[in-house]
Amino acid sequence: MKFLILSILFIFIVYAQEINSTENPKVYTSLGNEIYANMSAIENLKQIEKYQFFIEKIDIYVKKVKKTKAFGYEVASGNRSNFKLDYLKQLREHKKLNDYFVRSAHDTLKLAIDTKDNALFIDIVNSGLVNTRANQKQIMNYYTIHSSEIDPKGIIQTFLDEEYALKNTKQYKPKTKAELQKEKVARLRRNDKLDAEALEKRLSEELRLKKEKIIQEQERELFN
């Protein structure tokens, strides 16, 4: 009996540690990573008024995903490697609801923009379920129009900071060989032009002095 209690306690401690681990089970990672990454974002949807009717469903989903994650650690460790297909089956079931909430988030973004619901707009943009990079232009266009009514916290502030940095940071771009050659030719032409102008000026001055000398000699001959 004592051994059974200790075993249960040990399993509970491991279970709690694994659930809170930042690393996901190293089996079926391409499927599992997406589900585990979105779990917190889906849970946070409960804070948005539009998703109040989904609170119970979200709580059940999150609880199941955490349980599956713990199961995944056991499978990955080799303790229950013969249950890999069972783990995969659970992931596929979770994927359906995961994809539903991701689609719903994108639909909600469109709804918020169409109805000009600024509160819903900023909440869903910062939910973590919207592909904000893919929708950056749409998001920033809406924000620009309604900027006086929206607090640009989170994602939008990040976009604003990036835009500011891009505008105020001189981007160094190495010149191509063709550009360097073009600059060299232009520089040589400028130098040739300056040399030609200096030569012309010198010849003109020499000619002027020569004429002056001839005139002076003629004047001396005339007055002598």
User: What six digits make up the tokens of 31?
Assistant: 């499927």
Whether pTM exceeds 0.95: no
Give pLDDT, residue 93. Answer: 96
pLDDT of 4 above 60: no
Q: Which of 1, 69, 86 is nearest to 29 (CA)?
A: 69
Span 77-89, pLDDT tens digits: 887 767 889 999 9
Comparing 175 with 6, the larger pLDDT belongs to: 175
- For the CA atoms of the chain, what is the radius of gyration? 38
Q: What is the mean pLDDT of residues 176-199?
A: 81
User: What distance in Å separates the CA atoms of residue 131 and residue 126, rounded to the nearest whole number?
Assistant: 10
Q: Other C-beta atoms within 10 Å of 117: how many?
A: 16
Comparing 4 with 178, the larger pLDDT belongs to: 178
Give pLDDT, residue 201. Answer: 83
Answer whether 117's CB lies under 8 Å from 50's CB. Answer: no
Q: SS3 of 154, please? A: coil
pLDDT of 12 above 80: no
User: What distance in Å separates the CA atoms of residue 122 and residue 46, rounded to the nearest whole number?
Assistant: 15
> Domain residues of the chain, as ranges?
9-168, 173-224
Report residue 7's pLDDT band, with 50, 70 and 90 as the boundaries.
very low
Return the residue matching tokens 């001959």: 221
User: What distance in Å separates the CA atoms of residue 72 and residue 81, rounded to the nearest whole number?
Assistant: 9
Span 18-33, pLDDT tens digits: 444 468 999 999 999 9
